[in-house]
Amino acid sequence: MLTKIVTSTRFEVLSAAAILSMMVVMCLQIQYHGLNTGYDLKMHGYHRPGSESWPHAELVFKILEVAFNVLFTIELSLRIVVLKMRSFKSGWVCLDFLLVSISWMDFLGFLSVGMDPLILRLVRLVKLLRLLKVLSAFQVMETLYLLVRSIQSSLGALLWSFVLIWFIQIAVGMALCQILTDFINDETKPIDKRKEVFEYFGTMMHGTLTMFEITLGNWQVSCRVLYENVSVWYGMFYILYRCCFMFAIIKVITAVFIAETNRCAAYDSDLAFMKHQQEHTAYVAKLHKVFNKLDDSGDGYVTWEEFRPLLTDKRLQTYLHSLQIDTHDLHLLFEMMQSSDGTLDIHEFVNSLSRVKGPSKSIDVLKLQTMCGKMDKKVSSLLGAIKVLEDKNKQLGTANSPHSDDLVQLMLMNLLNRKVDTIMDTLISRHAVRNT
């Protein structure tokens, strides 16, 4: 019983809810400390310290800290009891053990690392990644699940994109720093202009940071510095580099990430299953809508008289076409769907129309031609055997029996009917399997 509870989806959701609640409390703590800091710095609008604006806040935060520590300790204990020795091989359990230990050491005053304890508690938010598999069970989380899986599958593209951009920034930054060295060292130039250029391209770190600003941030400032202080030709360089070269590279990288997202959505089995379930549910709902439209009596059954208007109702036929259902042989379709009493209930209606969904494909026609060819050979063989039987009857003098020809024809018709029924059942079943 305990194993079923701890390994359930609900337990993971409750654990995530506790982490999110802790995050809300941490936000309130940061806001509280900010009120004190703003008051100490005499900032505008901070006329009272946090202890006066939020009375008893320190006590409430202490109580909540103990409550969260106890809650996470219980969660960790339950996981260790269920997993037993396997818990030491689980990275999540080891992370939980480390975070819980740090939380209790910080609360008891045994932890002194020169870092705000709130920063250490932020590590617990990493546990939310454990919900990745759980998200696929909820249709409302489909978009979030797709985003997380897309980021996960795009880590390789992200790494190499960063390497490419970093290499370009370093190469161009080195070139600009080397070119602008003469201007910075030229004592005939105004010292304030030389200092201004040095702030952007005086060292390798300055140049690299400036290049990232040009590529991804505000490039107008450094462009104006070089354009007005050094040469107007740097304006042309910025246009070519920023608006042409880097624009193309960033767009290509964006296209790669979009392609990775589409690939993840196309090949992820969980997403494919969720999409198939949603499409099937929506399709069945539309068929229910058609059935309710035909069921004038409201008794849950459709007779031929109620089904007949579908033959002339262009609006319903168009709606069926949108559901990929051919409406040319609706009379035959009703005969195939109806039960022995000549009526059609909602389950027969939905199941039958789901089977005939979509047009026939080339492989279906090929199967039909192949099976008809086999049937033609068997019929020819049967006719040959009957011919031999007739010849033997003539030799025995029984060919003129009044019932022999009728008997042979009856046997032949029964055999052909059974064969045709077998072929049609096989085609219908294969078509249904293909559609489902």
For the residues of 107-122, what is the DSSP string, one character each? HHT----SS-HHHHHG
Each residue of 93-104: pLDDT tens digit?
Answer: 777 777 777 777
- Confidence check: pLDDT of 7 > 80: no
- Confidence check: pLDDT of 206 > 80: yes
- Confidence check: pLDDT of 178 > 80: yes
**pLDDT level of residue 112 (50, 70, 90 thresholds):** low
What sign has the CA pseudo-torsion 336, 340, 342, 346? negative
Mean pLDDT of 4-25: 79
- Confidence check: pLDDT of 14 > 60: yes
Q: Of 241, 238, 208, which Cα lies nearest the Cα of 230?
A: 238
**pLDDT level of residue 21 (50, 70, 90 thresholds):** confident
Beta strands in 237-391 (DSSP E): 301-302, 344-345
CB 229 within 8 A of CB 196: yes
Q: Tell which wins on pLDDT, 239 or 268.
A: 239
Each residue of 45-76: pLDDT tens digit?
Answer: 888 888 888 888 888 988 988 898 888 888 88
**pLDDT level of residue 436 (50, 70, 90 thresholds):** very low
What sign has the CA pseudo-torsion 104, 109, 112, 114? positive
Q: Tell which wins on pLDDT, 347 or 369.
A: 347
Predicted pLDDT at 399: 45
Predicted pLDDT at 47: 83
d(CA 13, CA 91) in angstroms, rounded, equals: 19
- Confidence check: pLDDT of 433 > 50: no
Least reliable range by pLDDT among 193-202, 214-223, 256-265, 425-434 = 425-434
Q: By percentage, how much of the chain surpasses pLDDT 90?
A: 0
What does the DSSP 8-state code read for residue 401? -
- Confidence check: pLDDT of 340 > 50: yes
Q: Tell which wins on pLDDT, 80 or 99.
A: 80
Q: Tell which wins on pLDDT, 288 or 143.
A: 288
How far, in whole angstroms, is CA 216 from its chain's centroid?
29
- Confidence check: pLDDT of 129 > 70: no
Q: Which two tokens stand for residue 150?
A: 């897309």
- Confidence check: pLDDT of 244 > 80: no
Predicted pLDDT at 355: 66
Predicted pLDDT at 360: 52
Least reliable range by pLDDT among 42-46, 148-152, 209-213 = 148-152
Mean pLDDT of 112-136: 59
How far, in whole angstroms, is CA 87 from its chain's centroid?
30
Predicted pLDDT at 125: 64
Beta strands in 217-328 (DSSP E): 301-302
Q: For residue 287, give the H/E element and its range.
A: helix 269-294
Predicted pLDDT at 103: 76
- To the nearest 10 degrees (0 to 180), the angle between helices 204-216 and 155-185 is 120
Mean pLDDT of 111-116: 57
Predicted pLDDT at 427: 55
Three-state DSSP class for residue 302:
strand
Mean pLDDT, the chain, integer: 75
